[in-house]
Amino acid sequence: MVSVGERTPSAGETGDLAALAVLDEAALLEGLRERFLRQQIYTDIGDILIAMNPFQPLPLYGREVAERYRHQETGTLPPHIFAVASRAYHAMLGRRGGGPQSQCIVISGESGAGKTESTKLLLQHIMNLCKGNSQLERQILQVNPLLEAFGNAQTAMNDNSSRFGKYIQLRFQNNTVRGAKLSEYLLEKSRVVQQDAGERNFHIFYYMFAGLSPEKKEMYGLLDPSLYRYVSGRFGTQDVAQRWKHKYQEVCNALDMVGFQEQEQVDMQAILAGVLSLGNVTFEPEESSESLKVSETSRGWLKAAAGQFGVQEDELLKCLICTMSVTRGEQIQRFHTQQQAEDARDSIAKVAYSRVFGWIVSKINELLAENVDPDVELREIGILDIFGFENFAVNHFEQFCINLANEQLQHFFNHHIFQLEQAAYKEEELPWETITFNNNEPILNLLLAKPLGLLSLLDEQSAFPQATDKTFVDKLNSSFKGNLHFQPGRGHALGFSIVHYAGKVHYTAGGFLEKNRDTLPANIRGLFINSVTPLLSVLFTATISRTGTLMPHVKAKVALGADDKFNSTRKQSAGAQFRHSLMVLMERMYSASPHFVRCIKPNSQKEPGVVDSQVVLQQLRYNGLLETIRIRRDGFSWRPSFEEFAERYGILLVKADVSLTKESCLEILQSTDLTGWICGKSRLFFKYWHQEQLAKYVERLERAAVTIQKVFRGFRYRKIYLKRVAELRAQAQRLQEEAERERSQQLAMEAETQKRISLPVPMPRKRRPQPGAHLPDKPPVPRPRSKLTESTPFDNFLDPSAPRPVLRTEEQIGEEAMRKLQRGATLRWFKETQAQKVMQDDGAFPSWLHGMISRREAENLLIDKPLGCFLIRISQSRPGYTLTYRGEGRCRHYMIEMQPNARYVILGEDRAHASLTELVQYHQTVGIQPFMEILTVPCRQKISDSLDSEDLKCLRLDLPAAMGKTPPEEQPCPSRPSTSRPAQQSGGATVLRHVWFRRTSSCQKQQSPDKSRTTASSVQKEGSQQAFPRLHSSIRLAMQEIQQFSSTPSNTSVQSCCQAHSTEDAKAK
């Protein structure tokens, strides 16, 4: 056993609480308070990070800070969330001891402690570490704002609370991200139909109301938000609405960036509008029968919901007011009570929204899936951002599941930090004083045990049709009588209490059975599968996995009233799905190396710069941070085996064939200056800082190895170079000698010829014609030119300055042929898919768009232009464009990618554009990353027959000639020549003939003095390119009917009441 002194860093200097001299709650609290008031919100406990929510923006995440935390030696830097990302990334690559291994980062804390922001910062820094500058990295960063809009909401504790859990898996090949996968857990879909006091619905509804234009609202069938019951008639102040409008634009951009098609986005928003309209449908009894009918004031809402869902109004009404069943071949119709009809209405709204959310997650996984060989081994970094522990005034089934997930995460933390570590000390027989901790395993047994756990009893009661919430509570009281972690409800209130690791929480049992059953009205699935809205059909054709994941697939339409097994007994309950999803999550996390981020909420009022000691101390206690500090200070968090250590660090001995034994490990350690480690029977025990110290030794040897490689390669290639130079010189000397020999022979032949000139010239003797050779006189046939010869258009080379024929090899010919093929394919792509989009209404191309010119030609065009001048050229080797920008002292070239959903993105940017013109206009005000260069003056095409606009001039000038028509009188434009080309040069593609005709006719319509006709034609033209809901005409008629009823006095009073609520809410804000 080897044991030398320990390092004792100062807690004040390094921000590491494991270095505290006095370890108690007061010292811990005071250390956190002092750092927080100095705006040092991050503090380390060994390799565990504590992050306190500042409730205000801080300058801690700029480019300079990110660059400092890029490398793995972060021990000398202050604690930071970027340091956790850097440690996980380098450990995944195998640079921190041990081989490459998958990592996971667990972010935990109360609701409002800052978990969502921490997740975004971790993703941002990991993508910065990749430095691949691929579009995939930008798409991954857009996932968070997209999911926040659909899965977050304002609660009593947090303005941006995650109402679902997510686990993001980043897949890496070597050091480059290749794909991503997202898993979501337990969306709180009951929030769609009901919110408690001081809370709101999901963000996306408010974003749509604030961000959609009046025309789009009319298209989707959205009216004033005060009319909708599902948003409680509350909206917000003008400043809040402006912020929501900006958020809606971010959501639309995220959808474009990730790759959602335009029609999919339209269908999705139409379904969301249908959910809101369905919430306003009310029922009243029929006077002549026992059935229900839709109230007179809500018929328009039913018609609007049917149009937005793309179904028939009468079929939707049947699903709401009655149930159809088949018994012994006979169809039986049973009418709902008013409460059953309202429950059916709310159930449809909840399921529709939850399936839209599940489809978004599934679509993200499809678009961001890795595109690599299945045999390639990928490593991953998982980031868990799950709902925090919640204890509201009224707690429902959702809070029970949320707190169950937090119990599971706390057990995972205890298992890794306390149980595994102390078990290793006992196994290796090290002297160790056991540290006691709050073990929450009995609570998990109470909740998850089979067959007598709380969730098992809930499923058992849910299977009985006659069971109620009261029978469920009675079953709990009888089963858990005497359990220390269960307390029966008091008084007449139907409920029970669970003593969680974070404190006692009282749950209201009302709705537990109904939410766990998660039923859907019979026949509604068949109705929605047959919807004319493709997305809604896909959502209800999809199946649900054991973990609650939506799995879309293509299926034929079903007949209404057919046997629907969607609500059969084989369907799993919501609690069972959540249990399975937690099991899968834990399996993934246990198979990876964990990193922990514990988020702390400094106060409950969300005020910056305020520390509530009682609130912080309560979180420190139930998180077990005092015990965590003790085990990190006295314990050994890194425990590699002898084989792992010798294999990884054998290089430090600088000798070959290092044996993987205990002796080799001791020899390695004795060659270093490390102190504080312990050698056990089968493994070594190190402090948390030893990994970074060993990494520095390895890095020093790696730098030395690179220097040796550099010198050796320089020596080797210099020898090759000198040998090659000698060969070339010898070859040149041989060629020179041959040339001199040929020149001597030529001079001798010329001298001989001069001698023969003075002699008399004899008459040529006629040849005798050979038999059978009677051929007519023909001019001599020239010898065909070799394909290896490329010459000028002139056939003589009398001019010494004229270029000579160039002989090329077969490899060069192949490369040129490939370039021609690529050029031709790109030109066809431009003519067939892009010309119509880029061409202006007058039939001309924008002045900044040049033809298929090379990089050098583009730079030559910009060489004498002012700073900020730019042009866009068609790429020569790929379908796409390149933006060339005149910068300071040089030109920059930005690749413009066209995504599968027809959106244009500059590689490295996080914004998608519907057209090239929109892209140019946007970057005339917003700089292009990373140098934030703003486009100023376009570089116009040349008038002469130069290469820069050759392709565009061919397209523009040859289209009228190809149609046999003369184009209308054109206005002078600097982007086009004033003269036309000869007819023999025309060769435009057929598809562009129609382009020119449509563009020219549209110009003529715009020049017409009838403004109404011009407006109509422009609207028609815009509509031909824009996606619409399938039944938008029915939606418009329903909106007119609703507005007629809204203008009546009774409804006016309802509106004023809603507006009063909105005003009160604004004052509360």
Catalytic residues: 111-112, 116, 158, 161-162, 388, 390
Q: How far apart are CA 114 and CA 454, in angstroms?
A: 31
Tally of CB atoms within 10 A around 370: 18
Residue of 899, 892, 904, 896 whose CA lies nearest to 930: 892
For residues 11 and 23, the answer to whether their CB atoms sit within 8 Å is no
Buried b (16+ CB within 10 A) or exposed e, 846-883: bbbbbbbbeeebbeebbeebeeebbbbbbbeeebbbbb
Q: How far apart are CA 1020 and CA 1000, in angstroms?
A: 16
Q: Which two tokens stand for residue 660?
A: 């993987």
Residue length, the chain?
1069
Q: Which helix (H) or strand (E) holds 165?
A: strand 165-173
Q: Where are the alpha helices (DSSP H) in 546-686?
A: 574-590, 613-622, 625-634, 642-649, 662-670
Q: What is the DSSP string of 264-277?
A: HHHHHHHHHHHHHH
Q: How far apart are CA 162 and CA 183, in angstroms?
A: 14
For residues 89 and 382, the answer to whether their CB atoms sit within 8 Å is no
For residues 2 and 678, the answer to whether their CB atoms sit within 8 Å is yes
For residues 521 and 320, the answer to whether their CB atoms sit within 8 Å is yes
Burial class (CB in 10 A: 0-12, 13-18, 19+), 908: middle
Sign of CA dihedral 488, 489, 492, 495: negative
For residues 904 and 916, the answer to whether their CB atoms sit within 8 Å is yes
Q: Which two tokens stand for residue 206?
A: 């408010």
Q: What share of the chain is helix, strand, coil (3-state, %, to 5)?
A: 50, 15, 40
Q: How far apart are CA 318 and CA 307, in angstroms?
A: 16
Q: Which helix (H) or strand (E) holds 897?
A: strand 891-898
Q: Output the 3-class SS for 238-257.
A: HHHHHHHHHHHHHHHHHHHH
Pairing of strands 495-500, 486-488: antiparallel
Using DSSP's 3-state secondary structure scheme, residue 1050 falls into helix
Which amino acid does the sequence have at 758? S
**Where do we find the tokens 């390669």?**
713
Would you give the DSSP letter of residue 416? I
Buried b (16+ CB within 10 A) or exposed e, 925-936: eeebeeeebebe
